[in-house]
Amino acid sequence: MRLSQTAQDTLCANALRFLAIDAVEAAQSGHPGMPMGMAEIAVALWTRHLKHNPTDPTWPDRDRFILSNGHGSMLHYALLHLSGYDLPLDELKRFRQLHSKTPGHPEYGLTPGIETTTGPLGQGLANAVGMALAEKLLAAEFNRPGHRIVDHHTWVFLGDGCLMEGISHEAASFAGVQRLSKLVALWDDNRISIDGDVAGWFGDDTPARFRAYGWNVIEHVDGHDTDAVDHAIRDARRNARDDTGPTLICCRTTIGRGSPARAGTASVHGAPLGKDEIAATRAALGWDHPPFDIPEEIRNSFDARKTGAARQSAWQAQFDAYAREWPELAAEFTRRVTKRLPVGFRVLADAILRGVHNEAATLASRKASQHAIGRLARALPELLGGSADLTHSNLTDWPGCGAVRADQAGRHINWGVREFGMAAALNGIALHGGYLTFGATFLVFSDYARNAMRMSALMRQRVVYVMTHDSIGLGEDGPTHQPVEHLPSLRQIPNLDVWRPCDAVETQAAWNASVMRADGPSVIACSRQNLPHQARDAERLGDIARGGYVLAEADDGQPAMVLIATGSEVALAMEARARLQADGIATRVVSMPCTAAFDRQAASWRDAVLPPDVPRVAIEAAQPDSWWKYLAGAPRAAVIGIDRFGESAPAGELATLFGMTPERIVDTARRLR
């Protein structure tokens, strides 16, 4: 007997439900409610629309699928497994267990087919915005008449939690003004969040809100009617073809649908159903298969390997034709989407660095950063940067960059005043491939973007954050704009390289290192004020990349004192060194632009730079506590830092007030002798 399509769809949805129910039960931990509520929506998208090839999750022109409500991870794992990805049933049985491929929330790089790590609410939507932007720009750059080698959609599942988060506003507003028509979000409108019925705390007219952003909104879709969702998705694809802006599909659903006792309540959100309720749910849905036992005909309905391979083959044929007509473009496209730097880039980067050293310029490091961007942009057509409405303060644009607009594919993005949305979208751009991306704001406002920067680090994405106005040195704008704790606290994010260059040379070196770092994000913290050039020989020029090095040796080569400094304080340390040397205290200055890079060096390097038997003073215009790590082992040591909030005044007066002076360094060093 052949089932009707509707009956078959119901079976498919129930298969997703029970894989989630049974995996959560096996783990005794997890979130069954969302998979049970979004099952039909998933069936509609994954069996009728999603363009992907489970046997090649790296196919550049695949659709991107993002689960912004990442706690529903079992839905995604069930879909990947049934569609034919390399995610065997055994992995589903080990949901949330140590070193399984099915962690509590979806993790990029761990599970084939997971496009981004989600869980922190709202960020998946912003990742998707970045992906859709990358797709649009890449299409504009590489497609040619008769050749649409870039042409895919970005699909997002999201819930009420994502929509309450502020980042949903930043992301959706930006997607609207940029008219990202191939972005389609499917909202799980179940009216339940963890605290219960959302009526008490979430009263938005969400469709009206999204229309206000310039989105198409498809309302009143029955999220448990696969055909209804299918029709809405068709309408969304038409919007994409007609380029009328992104689309939100509002799917009315019941959380935990199928559970007789818990459907429609918060109790089904984040806890196992338990044996009895699972039995009741099996009975209610007429599902008599044992846990993890999915009938063959259901597997066949999901299996996308054949159609996926055929679609990828067809694309490959298109691409081959493109490559014949546009061989250089095709080679460049392949390089770009595989995230490889141009051949010979390292040599070029070294040459650029030598050139900057020869210029010996005194510049604010934010200005030096702008110069570095301009130099790199000539060699890296993939450079795609911008600022959160501080372009002329952060200095992120460069000659000929061109602005990215709804109807214009440039290379510089005005993100608007949207730091968090920008950072999460940068993750999406980096994950998508095709661009090497950076974004900028004031260092103090890294706070606004912080969790997305953490996600860059967790996902090991090459994203560069230009964070200017890096200390009280910004002056009059006062304590709300003066970072104090930000440098050390960003350094504490694992896998994030934080650079604070002392001059134009170190700024270029920081940019070179950040661009060549394939496995993680970097912050480049830049000054508002001018920083004098520091002279170095060729060897020391190369040492910058080690993160900490001897910038100036004691005159006799036998230091009796080591001064460690970063950024604008290096010049102070150099001045203090001159006075100490004059006093007969042999003094070494160590510049430490990146503690993370320094930590990766061999112990022999670290001990050579910071000899264990010599007193040390660390100087940085920031919260001082973390520096004790680099003072441990010295016979005597001190930190000169700032452990209170700043003040509003001209920068020079603040330097005196906060003791960021050569005099204080000299006095401190003398006391330690």
Binders of a copy of itself in range 210-269 (CB under 8 A): 211-214
What does DSSP assign to residue 542? H
Question: How near is the Cβ of 109 to a copy of itself at its closest, in Å?
Answer: 11
The Cα 155–Cα 182 span in angstroms is 8
> What residue type is 164 in one-letter code?
M
For residue 267, what are the CA distances in angstroms to 189, 252, 255, 532? Answer: 17, 19, 10, 62
> What residue type is 195 in one-letter code?
D
For a copy of itself, which is the closer residue by CB, 468 or 534?
Answer: 468
Binding residues for a copy of itself restricted to 408-437, rule: CB under 8 A: 414-418, 420-421
Residue 469 annotated in ligand binding: yes
The answer to whether 176 contacts a copy of itself (rule: CB under 8 A) is yes
The Cα 362–Cα 531 span in angstroms is 6
Residue 191 annotated in ligand binding: no
Residue 121 annotated in ligand binding: yes
1, 2, 145, 203: which one binds a copy of itself (CB under 8 A):
203
The answer to whether 672 contacts a copy of itself (rule: CB under 8 A) is no
Binding residues for a copy of itself restricted to 469-488, rule: CB under 8 A: 475-481, 484-485, 488
**Only segment of 134-142, 453-461, 542-550, 575-583 that touches a copy of itself (CB under 8 A):** 453-461
Residue 167 annotated in ligand binding: no
90, 243, 293, 653: which one binds a copy of itself (CB under 8 A):
653
Question: How near is the Cβ of 150 to a copy of itself at its closest, in Å?
Answer: 23
The Cα 256–Cα 194 span in angstroms is 13
Residue 327 annotated in ligand binding: no
The torsion angle over the Cα atoms of residues 127, 128, 130 and 133, rounded to 10 degrees, is: 180
Give the interface size with a copy of itself as a residue count (CB under 8 A): 110
Question: Which 3 state secondary structure label does DSSP give 258?
Answer: coil
1, 2, 98, 557: which one binds a copy of itself (CB under 8 A):
98
What does DSSP assign to residue 291? T
**Only segment of 41-49, 291-299, 446-454, 539-547 that touches a copy of itself (CB under 8 A):** 446-454
Question: How near is the Cβ of 444 to a copy of itself at its closest, in Å?
Answer: 8
The answer to whether 493 contacts a copy of itself (rule: CB under 8 A) is yes
Six-digit token string for 379: 């060699």
For a copy of itself, which is the closer residue by CB, 413 or 524?
Answer: 413
For residue 166, what are the CA distances in angstroms to 125, 126, 160, 400? Answer: 11, 11, 12, 33
List the one residue out of 484, 431, 487 whose CA is nearest residue 455. 431
Residue 555 annotated in ligand binding: no
50, 75, 87, 121: which one binds a copy of itself (CB under 8 A):
121
Give the active site residue among 419, 506, 569, 620.
419
68, 83, 127, 193: which one binds a copy of itself (CB under 8 A):
193
Question: How near is the Cβ of 555 to a copy of itself at its closest, in Å?
Answer: 29
Six-digit token string for 291: 């846990």
For a copy of itself, which is the closer residue by CB, 221 or 622?
Answer: 622
Provide CB contacts within 8 A for 635, sequence distance 6+: 613, 614, 615
Largest CA distance in the chain: 98
Binding residues for a copy of itself restricted to 31-90, rule: CB under 8 A: 70
Task: Judge whether 91 counts as a catalytic residue.
Answer: no
Binding residues for a copy of itself restricted to 124-163, rule: CB under 8 A: 160-162
Six-digit token string for 373: 């961007």
For a copy of itself, which is the closer residue by CB, 254 or 391?
Answer: 391
Provide CB contacts within 8 A for 344, sequence distance 6+: none
The strand pairing partners of 468, in sequence order, are 442, 526
The answer to whether 97 contacts a copy of itself (rule: CB under 8 A) is yes
Residue 269 annotated in ligand binding: yes
The answer to whether 616 contacts a copy of itself (rule: CB under 8 A) is no
**Only segment of 222-230, 447-455, 498-506, 573-581 that touches a copy of itself (CB under 8 A):** 447-455
CA angle 232-236-242, nearest 5°? 145
For residue 361, what are the CA distances in angstroms to 504, 532, 603? Answer: 7, 7, 33
The contact mask relative to a copy of itself for 333-372 (x = CB under 8 A, - = no) is: ----------------------------------------
Question: How near is the Cβ of 476 to a copy of itself at its closest, in Å?
Answer: 4
65, 174, 187, 511: which one binds a copy of itself (CB under 8 A):
174
Provide CB contacts within 8 A for 294, sequence distance 6+: 15, 19, 82
Give buried/exposed letters for 313-337 (b at 16+ CB in 10 A, else e). eebeebbeebbeebeebbebbebbb
Question: How near is the Cβ of 419 to a copy of itself at its closest, in Å?
Answer: 8
Residue 190 annotated in ligand binding: yes
The Cα 129–Cα 404 span in angstroms is 14
Residue 665 annotated in ligand binding: no
Alpha helices in 433-589 (DSSP H): 446-458, 486-491, 504-516, 538-543, 568-582
Question: Which 3 state secondary structure label does DSSP give 178?
Answer: coil
Provide CB contacts within 8 A for 69, sequence distance 6+: 34, 118, 121, 124, 157, 158, 159, 161, 162, 188
List the one residue out of 661, 666, 660 whose CA is nearest residue 579. 666
Binding residues for a copy of itself restricted to 617-646, rule: CB under 8 A: 623, 625-626, 628-629, 631-632, 637, 643-645
Residue 528 annotated in ligand binding: yes
For residue 80, what are the CA distances in angstroms to 74, 157, 303? Answer: 10, 15, 9
The answer to whether 553 contacts a copy of itself (rule: CB under 8 A) is no
90, 204, 243, 663: which one binds a copy of itself (CB under 8 A):
204
For a copy of itself, which is the closer residue by CB, 267 or 301?
Answer: 267
Six-digit token string for 104: 């509590």
The Cα 308–Cα 318 span in angstroms is 15
The Cα 75–Cα 421 span in angstroms is 26
Question: How near is the Cβ of 626 to a copy of itself at its closest, in Å?
Answer: 5
**Only segment of 2-10, 141-149, 172-180, 332-340 that touches a copy of itself (CB under 8 A):** 172-180
Give the residue numbers marked as catalytic. Answer: 419
Sequence ranges of the binding site for thiamine diphosphate: 71, 119-121, 161, 190, 269, 445
Sequence ranges of the binding site: 31, 71, 119-121, 160-161, 190, 192, 269, 366, 393, 445, 469, 477, 481, 528
Sequence ranges of the binding site for Mg(2+): 160, 190, 192
